[in-house]
Amino acid sequence: MASLKTSRRYAVWAVAGVLAAIVAGVGYGYFMAGSGGGGPGANDVEQLALGQEVYTEACASCHGANLEGQPNWKVRQANGRLPAPPHDDTGHTWHHPDQLLFEMTKQGVEAFGPEGYESDMLGFADTLSDDQIWAVLAYIKSTWPANIRARQDSMTQRYQGN
């Protein structure tokens, strides 16, 4: 009889744990959707407008007005650095989860490369707020075809452990 009570107790705790994980996941999804303080919200019209404005002011000079990147972006320049990649669906931006894109934008690419790696992509921590960075990412993502957004969203979910 004691083992039945113990089994029930474990079952109750297991169900409580699963429910807590679901609530946390839904809450995080709400947060990442642009409601509640951050994250790229693909359906948040104000965030997308801000993102387009900030992209034009802070990113387009290197990554292109149409997110097309610099020519020959896969070929190292004479200084050993790579040109700015496109942020449209022809580039590799969508190959990274949201949080990593945010951190690379905020801290700069060099923070994520091997020791001695150099990049022209410096961090924007001193010039853009977190909300502005998330808005730029929302804008960039809003330009991708649905299948690319779905693949990148799936990667973001796996990265988050969901």
Q: Looking at the chain, list the stretches that DSSP marks H as alpha helix, in order from N- to C-terminal side.
A: 2-32, 45-58, 60-63, 98-107, 130-142, 146-160
For 28-38, the pLDDT digits (tens) are 343 344 333 45
What global pTM score does this model have?
0.74
CA gap 29, 75 in Å, rounded: 37
Tell me what pLDDT residue 28 has.
Answer: 38
CA separation, residue 156 to residues 14, 23, 33, 74, 107 (Å): 26, 18, 12, 24, 19
The phi, psi pair for 122, rounded to 5°, reads: -85, 160
Tell me what pLDDT residue 162 has.
Answer: 60
List, for the chain, all residue ranges whose pLDDT scores fall below the cut of 50: 6-7, 9-37
Q: Residue 112's beta-bridge partner residues? A: none
